[in-house]
Amino acid sequence: MSDQRTEVADLGEFGLIQHLTRNIELQNASSIVGVGDDAAVIDHFGKQTVVTTDMLIEGVHFDLMYTPLKHLGYKSVVINLSDVYAMNATPTQITISLGLSNRFSVEALDEFYEGVYAACSKYGVDLVGGDTCSSQKGFIISVTAIGEVTPDTYVKRSTAQKGDLLCCSGDLGAAYVGLLFLEREKKIYLENPNIQPDLEGESYVIGRLLKPEARKDIIEFFAQNNIRPTSMIDISDGLSSEILHICQESGLGCRLYEEKIPVAEEMRRAAFKFEIDPTACALSGGEDYELLFTLPQSDHEKLVLNEQISVIGYMTEAADNASIITKGGNTYPITAQGWNAFKNTRG
């Protein structure tokens, strides 16, 4: 080992991945898309296989104090399926590896698996393997999802075209506000265990956090209407971050219209309770698991068929950078830490 020490935090997650994978040369003709997209694509003699994997660690990705195990099982599967859909593919199988401390009983695991099987059933995927081992501390979940796609209909992040419409599914920011409520109630409970949690009326935003869904319906809509996005990614880290991925990897800029960003009324009301800007939640909240994609302008009329899809902007030349046009008509750059940066810019 060299004497140099670079902190992982200095590179950031994406910088780290880029660093660690910079020298990969694919050896198998069947490896079509490797590291760096929502999922890899593998060719098996005509049919193409998609594979993606995610790790969830207690205390980092979830808090068992307010996360029911059944929901956690469901979510662990769904967030991986979301990555498969984001390749325009259909998930077919999953594997799950778990690391468990002895604090977990079999009954607790049964709850977790109830959620896993509910997700498998809803999305038509099979659990085909896994590994269960001890952990010294905490609950660790690693899920790999495998899917299939008709040859060469997979959609990468890097192939958006100038002039394309920038679109997203569903509504954004609600999961983040749900998290704020749960964290607030946890804090109150820890200070005084006799106070009952007050989450009345917030079931929408909390449900979006605890039991997200993957947008299978959007992929089916594309297939039924002969739509093939030019690029696509799922929105797991907030809209800003995902837009920047598409821009950077496609070598383009974009214009995003604040007024077009879809937010639920429940999220807007909830955000105001915390005195935060709903747009900031959508831009940087994360865990929405909606799809962000680009389409040729010629597909615009097909989109009106689906009220779950919003056109939120368009792609430009790289020189124009990625920017947001606010409701007030000002233009600001979109930044990866959109939430804070955006707040600061607006003063």
Nearer to a second copy, 110 or 317 (CB): 110
Residue 4 burial (CB < 10 Å; 0-12/13-18/19+)? exposed
Evaluate whether 236 touches 82 at the Cβ level (below 8 Å). yes
Q: Under the criterion CB under 8 A, does residue 35 sit at the interface with a second copy?
A: yes
Question: What's the start-to-end Cα distance of the chain, in Å?
Answer: 45
* 336 lies in the binding site for a second copy (CB under 8 A): no
Using CB under 8 A, pick the residue from 64, 67, 118, 127 that binds a second copy. 127
Q: Does 30 bind a second copy (CB under 8 A)?
A: yes
Six-digit token pair at 267? 């999220």
Max Cα distance, the chain (Å): 62
How crowded is residue 17: how many other Cβ atoms within 10 Å of its Cβ? 13
- Asked whether position 108 contacts a second copy by CB under 8 A, the answer is yes
Nearest distance from residue 12's CB to a second copy, in Å? 10
Nearer to a second copy, 10 or 191 (CB): 10
CA dihedral 188, 140, 23, 34 (to 10 degrees): -100
Residue 65 is a binding residue for a second copy (CB under 8 A): no
Query: Of 45 and 196, which has the nearer Cβ to a second copy?
Result: 45
Residue 319 within binding range of a second copy, rule CB under 8 A = no
Residue 212 CB, nearest distance to a second copy (Å)?
17
Work out how close the CB of 5 gets to a second copy at its nearest, in angstroms, rounded to a whole number.
Answer: 4
Location of structure tokens 């039991």: 211
Residues 139-198 that bind a second copy (CB under 8 A): 140, 142, 144, 146, 148
Please, which residue, 54 or 320, has the CB nearer to a second copy? Answer: 54
Residues of span 76-95 touching a second copy by CB under 8 A: 92-93, 95
CB of 8 to a second copy, least distance (A): 6
- The verdict on 120 binding a second copy (CB under 8 A) reads yes
| Least distance between a second copy and beta carbon 71 (Å) | 13
Stretch that binds a second copy, among 36-44, 240-248, 281-289, 308-316 (CB under 8 A): 36-44
Give me the least distance between CB of 104 and a second copy, in Å please: 6
For a second copy, which stretch binds (CB under 8 A), given 134-142, 204-212, 276-284, 306-314? 134-142
Are the C-beta atoms of 277 and 172 separated by less than 8 Å? no
| In the complex, minimum distance from the CB of residue 69 to a second copy, in angstroms, rounded to a whole number | 8
Round to whole Å and give the CA distance between 176 and 173: 6
Other CB atoms within 10 A of residue 61 CB: 18
Burial grade of 195 (CB within 10 A; 0-12, 13-18, 19 or more): exposed
8 binds a second copy (CB under 8 A): yes
Eight-state DSSP code of residue 299 = G
Q: With binding defined as CB under 8 A, does residue 344 bind a second copy?
A: no
Q: Number of C-alpha atoms within 13 angstroms, CB side, residue 211? A: 13
Q: Does 57 bind a second copy (CB under 8 A)?
A: yes
Q: Is 268 in the site for a second copy (CB under 8 A)?
A: no
Q: Specify the DSSP class assigned to residue 136.
A: S
Chosen residue from 63, 65, 105, 203 binding a second copy by CB under 8 A: 105
The C-alpha atoms of residue 201 and residue 336 are separated, in whole angstroms, by: 32
Sign of CA dihedral 267, 336, 23, 43: positive
Number of residues forming the site for a second copy (CB under 8 A): 87
**CA pair distance 253, 285, nearest whole angstrom:** 22
The whole-angstrom separation of Cα 52 and Cα 117 is 19
Among 64, 109, 199, 336, binds a second copy (CB under 8 A): 109
Amino acid symbol at 21: T
